Structure 1
Amino acid sequence: MRLSHVIAALEKLYPPSWAEPWDAVGLVCGDPDQEVGRVLFAVDPVAAVVDEALEWGADLLVVHHPLLLRGVHGVAATTPKGRLVHRMIRNGLALYTAHTNADVADPGVSDALARAVGLVGGLRPLKPAADDPRRGLGRIGELPEPMTLRAFTALAASGLPSTAWGLRAAGDPDRTVRTVAVCGGAGDSLLDTARAAGVDVYLTADLRHHPASEFMAFAEHGGPALIDAAHWATEWPWLADAERALTGSGDAAGKLETRVSTLVTDAWRLHDASPGTATPSPGTASDVIEGAK
């Protein structure tokens, strides 16, 4: 089918109007009149993913993260991103981005994350959209039964793809949790929202030391625990949802061959948990969650 028809199907699922004003979504390169037979889904438009797409013979690469998020004045092949653009155009590979418009969709990125870490039924937005309470950032859901933070961290790790970053939990490992908030990608802007929602634990990515430390002061008085996962890992589960949604749409049903990339494109590649030689001050403690990847 024509690329323009595939784009139309994608934009019914993830309308560009839902994207944040600063975002860059939609068609990055490609001729709307070209024919598309194979579509690869990936989180990041990096060289290894373009290699995979071209080796498989894909006509379209659908990604979550924008290649050109900030304004550019040229795409000369003298830069890494410019070389990617030239290579895709030369080989007839179109590139399409669904980013914050996919984050707030119903279902969207955080719905897939919620299911991956074991939440069941009745998902609702952590921060609903102003014009539709079913859409919005993050999701809140319930575990099938209460469990300790330690057990939930291991459960979440088992449901997400393995990365060097793994999962890190802040809070009493033995506290009981059942109501969980999640946000795919960088979610520290929703820390206060998660606390106000009264959840037992908030799982997201890219948590920084100072906001996390300040947030954990509330945990001592019943506030949520925190789990920090790899950015890429929290968004990867959405790819299969997007693939199913596209191939199940009326215009595209039965017309496209699709694949989800399993390449780990998280920026962090090495994790060393060997004991250090420095001695912590008395009273400090950390817990290694067994089974966390």
Structure 2
Amino acid sequence: MSNALTGHEVVRIFEKWSPPSLAVEGDRIGLMVGSLDNQVNRIVTALDVTEAVLDEAIEHQANFILAHHPLLFRPLKTIDLKTPHGRIIHKALSHGITIYAAHTNLDIARGGVNDMLAEALSLTNVTVLAETYAEDLKKLVVYVPRTHVDILREALGEAGAGHIGAYSHCSFNSEGIGSFRPLKGSNPYIGENGVQEFVEETKIETIVRASQLSNVVSAMTKAHPYEEVAYDFYPLEQKGESYGLGRIGELSSQMTLSELSELVKKAYDVPTLRLIGNPSKIVKRVAVLGGDGNKYVQTAMKKGADVFITGDIYYHTAVDAIEDGFSLLDPGHNIEKIMKKGVAKKLSHLLTEAGYTIETISSQINTDPYQYV
């Protein structure tokens, strides 16, 4: 495969991991500035897009920035070069730099920002804190001559069908007799035109996630020997994998809230944090959510967390938490910077798997607007 890589291809590969469908409604994600038609030379991953981050990209001769926080979160009425946004847009366009943002979809994705935050604390038994989406499941039933059962089962599994928990290629198979009569103009794999045929066939039943339907149907029709494939999809009441904001899990061993605060500062590379609660309280079950988690304090409490780690905690939220006997740690919004290295590593792996050799660099610019004195 050629090493030439366009922005469209970068986005296609990235969004297989962090699909836009996971984003919270109304979130500003996707292309911010530039063109996806351009060939990508080098990629920079960044938490925020500032002039300093743009200068860093220019220095590295990178022309694609994958950011977590959207540059254009609120609609612009004008592009005034005297404003920070105006200068950034002008500089990006002048240097042919494309800016793309993955926000809540990257928060929610498996292995995304919130999983990175949970992993940094070595949490175990990790589950979603606040569910935002559960994927629909379909039952696929397809009939195939027994000569092609193994071929078709493998193709379905490789396309994503039959994935249940930690198992793949799951299916149920039953034997029977299929019948059909090829008509004029057909080109049957088995049988003759005008003659009723009876064929030993296997009925394969398997589960397909709604997002995988098109891939599975494409793989099925390619692997199936018949000109016309007989298959059905049935909706299922049970839901597939759940996705959502934040994570909740358990520390490897219990510790005091004060001890956890020191662990958090080290794991998230922050100089200080705000502790809400009794520093001597023993904690074990921890909820974590990158960014502003004020809306999810009650959710963390109901899920049985001993402490909730998140940013931008409001004064009255903190007061209410103390009244409820609940503990909070606020290491700031900027802990989401963990995505810079995490996304650079993941994207580099995905691009290499796809046959591309493109350097992916994590920004070294500190965009935290706060100074601690």
Check whether TM > 0.5. yes
Residue 97 (1) aligns with residue 101 (2):
yes
Aligned residues of 2:129 and 2:247 also touching (Cα < 8 A): yes
Q: Which residue of 1 aligns with 2:71?
A: 67
Q: Which residue of 1 aligns with 2:340?
A: 239
**Alpha-carbon shift at residue 178 of structure 1 (Å):** 0.8
- 1:25-174 map, 5 Å: 25-116=29-120, 118-132=121-135, 133-163=241-271, 166-174=272-280
Aligned residues of 1:120 and 1:143 also touching (Cα < 8 A): yes
Residue 194 (1) aligns with residue 300 (2):
yes
Alpha-carbon displacement from aligned partner over 1:176-228 (angstroms, at most 9, x marks no partner): 11110000000011010011011111000000110111121111xxxx31101
Q: Which residue of 2 aligns with 1:180?
A: 286
In structure 2, the CA distance between the partners of 1:23 and 1:171, relative to structure 1 (3 Å rule), is same
RMSD: 1.6
Aligned residues of 1:37 and 1:255 also touching (Cα < 8 A): no
2: distance between equivalents of 1:98 and 1:88?
Answer: 18
- AA aligned to 1:70 is R
- AA aligned to 1:152 is L
2: distance between equivalents of 1:152 and 1:173?
Answer: 9
Aligned residues of 1:58 and 1:93 also touching (Cα < 8 A): yes
Equivalent of 1:258, from 335, 347, 360? 360
2: distance between equivalents of 1:194 and 1:53?
Answer: 38
2: distance between equivalents of 1:162 and 1:152?
Answer: 13
Aligned residues of 2:114 and 2:247 also touching (Cα < 8 A): yes
Any stretches of 5+ residues in structure 2 without a counterpart? Answer: 136-240
Find the residue that maps to 2:324 and give its secondary structure: helix
Aligned residues of 2:29 and 2:103 also touching (Cα < 8 A): yes
Task: Give percent identity, aligned residues only.
Answer: 35
Find the residue that maps to 2:369 and give its secondary structure: coil
Residue 228 (1) aligns with residue 323 (2):
no
Aligned residues of 1:40 and 1:258 also touching (Cα < 8 A): yes
- AA aligned to 1:33 is D
2: distance between equivalents of 1:40 and 1:267?
Answer: 20
Find the residue that maps to 1:236 and give its secondary structure: helix
Structure with the larger strand share: 2
Find the residue that maps to 1:137 and give its secondary structure: strand
Q: Which residue of 2 aligns with 1:276?
A: none
2: distance between equivalents of 1:101 and 1:60?
Answer: 19
**Alpha-carbon shift at residue 252 of structure 1 (Å):** 4.6
Aligned residues of 1:44 and 1:65 also touching (Cα < 8 A): yes
Find the residue that maps to 1:248 and give its secondary structure: helix
Equivalent of 1:7, from 7, 11, 14? 11
Aligned residues of 1:128 and 1:135 also touching (Cα < 8 A): yes
Aligned residues of 1:38 and 1:60 also touching (Cα < 8 A): yes
In structure 2, the CA distance between the partners of 1:185 and 1:212, relative to structure 1 (3 Å rule), is same
- AA aligned to 2:348 is T
Find the residue that maps to 2:252 and give its secondary structure: strand
- TM-score if structure 1 supplies the norm length? 0.85
Alpha-carbon displacement from aligned partner over 1:142-185 (angstroms, at most 9, x marks no partner): 1111111111110111111235xx21211111111111000000
2: distance between equivalents of 1:252 and 1:69?
Answer: 31
Q: Which has the larger radius of gyration?
A: 2
**Aligned residue-pair number:** 263
